[in-house]
Structure 1
Amino acid sequence: MTSRRQVHLAAHFPGVNNTTVWTDPRSGSQIDFASFAHLARTAERGRFDFFFLAEGLRLRELKGRIHDLDVLGRPEALTVLSALAAVTDRLGLAGTVNATFNEPYELARRLSTLDHLSDGRAAWNVVTTSDAFTGENFRRGGYLDRADRYERAAEFVRLSRELWDSWKPDAILAYQSEGRFLRQDAIGAVEHRGTHFSIEGRFTLPRSPQGRPVIIQAGDSGEGREFAAAHADVIFTGHGSLEDGKRFYADVKGRLAKYGREPHQLKIMPGVTFALGDTEEEAAENAAAIRRHQVGPQTAIAFLEQVWGRDMSAYDPDGPLPDVGPDLSEGVSQGRVAIKDRGAVAAKWRAMAEEKNLTIRELVIEVTGRQTFIGTPRTVARLIDEHVREEAADGFILVPHLTPGGLDEFVDRVVPLLQERGVFRTDYTGATLREHLELS
């Protein structure tokens, strides 16, 4: 009998964006450690592979105004994860750290420290930026072109791995058995002269229980896909539908052979959301209510302004789209991924609004709908299994709409059904994140 493809699951801390419903009385702090601990412990109770933290290096602005509730704060990821290592036992701990505004030796050391503190559960989500607005918080500013940022990131990852691998696996045993001085060949010297980095020296930490941290990459561009195929262990994508997922899956997995890699060596895990109900109708109602709370009046106008490039604050969010066309002369949003071809997006939005008779807010809800899986727990379990079985994904990174208790219902009601289907672990069989992800 052929074994069923196993589902991999991770939990994303919601953070500051319009996924989170802040008006819900159950919504808590995203700074208090208790919030991080609650979500991480829930994910571990559900036998998830890892807990995932995003990063924000500058508060995002729209025409000089801070929005998106960024004022709630964005703690530094590796500090939070180091604290979580003490209150979890098996759960992987993944942090987003920017490869444009950090240095390899220092970051490799911080990640290796987390890997040792957690007994081999650390992961690094590699992100880049060519955004000069974000770069103003750093010495180098936004000096990197889009293509150059991936070149720097690739060199960064290669050098980090060289540092992590520079200690021989038995170096500590040699030290313990031979006295206070390590053999000269126990720790290799790292000498690197590259386009972006120049290093000569020895790393300060031995290899961790999993060898080195897991590498995650988030992105959908051709450059991002190629970077993931060459360097990543996990790719975090935005493809939630079955057909889009299958196309993305086939494309990225098909790139691995040129780098001497096998398909199982890269896990594809889209970020997804969910809305549950005791019936399909109740789940649909819950999803609609969540979407309406995610897109309040101010958020609806802010989204419109990102596309129109104009001050739209005078317009009623519950009224029709204005007759005025978009100003395409310059962007108005800073600290975000730029919207490509705003004119085409505006035309598409207008056609949709006219066809469905949508208000501004209803339109934004329509185009930013977040619930990927909607239904009873049994329906959602079936859909998740189907996506993995049909090779649209290897698993999913769940982004709940509530901080910190939004994952509880999924763990209590959906995970047991996945286990019942024989596609998700009933207990951890390994100790490290690499073992959870079945990475060789």
Structure 2
Amino acid sequence: MYSQIVKPQTLVLDSAPCNDAHDHFSKLPVKYEEYGSAKSPDGHDKPVIAILPFFLGSAHAAGCKAMKDNKPVGLGYWDALIGPGEVLDTNTHRIISFEPVINDEFHPGIVNPATGKPYGGAFPNFSLADMSQIQRMALKQLGVVHVDVLMGASMGSLQAWHFMAHDTSFVSRMVLVVPGGLTLADKTLTLARQWVTKLEQDPDWRGGDYSALPKDKQPKKALSEVLADFWYRVQFPVDHSLLYDLDDLGWADVAVAHHALSPDDVKSIDTVLASLDDKQPKIKVYKQMVKALCEKTDHNVLLWQLRSILTYKPLAALAASDVFTRRTVKLDDMVDMAHEAPGVADILLIATEADDLLDIVPVDAVIGMAAFLGARVSVDRLPSTFTHAAGLNTAAADSIVRVKGRIAQFLKPQAKL
């Protein structure tokens, strides 16, 4: 554990890409936290571990936010992994964790200096490619020229794939937990589109320009519905009878009509949420978390982060990369590539088949492409009891030992996959 109070820091990029690199945003703030020192005792720069944020997450991966009655308050989500002598060792590495680009301090509600009013609907979108560029620019501003280990869970993994695809030589190793692959499953994209549509169709949203409204008039209905759906799929294992696509309704009707399924076998998220038993401890925790998320999440922050999911295209970036071009040419010429120095050498993917957000099939499909690029990939399959949430928080008792042990094994010097 990292037994220190850690405060977020902010740097400012003079110019950063937005609208999928078609525009630039001036004076963009980037929030981050650091654990451990940048220099070793002999004055050399330590190798860097960079941690990319998950959806609606924060930079607070380790340490605590305060002390109360001599007890830490607000532990970081991966605190059990980070610290002196821990798996992510602050004695040997400089560790930098980033806040999502769109967050509680940088969002459509901030004032546009050109108008003196909040941006609202005029605020730019930030693609995952933009975000990865911003994180790389921030690291360079912090004096980092190379990342030894790039880490991310959930949406952090999507940013990591873009990060690596843009410059394969900038990263040596990647550790991605409950990750996506180089493509996203139709289910993930369908859910993201449905949630975006629901948020945009909320009549109180006003095209994003609601900041002047009283708090009780700001959009809440769609936000609470989206967060309830999202967190249910994060917290509970995948259920193949739980419909997610409106097109599935037609299929389900046919299946029921032909007695291939009974009506009880086919569930929509609305019927599932309506039937939850509040007396069950896990349901209580789920509802408390949704309530907390609704209270602290701004409608536009949620929407702008969701929009970024729909921009996911690391394969296009990889196809345009130098390493892809070189290897394609060499393959065409039947030239031996065995002794060519690879870009990213090792990748560890910790995934679960119970994941109801990021399907494991695209994760498995990564292996062939990675091998073509000269990388070595290991996929560690968590037991079916592990949900998506198990990878987001090491405080979960069922995840800490397995995840911590696997990452420790992977990061051992000279480890072989």
TM-score by length of 2: 0.30
| TM-score, length-scaled by structure 1 | 0.29
Greater RCO (Cα-Cα under 8 Å, separation 6 or more):
1
Structure having the larger proportion of residues in strand: 2
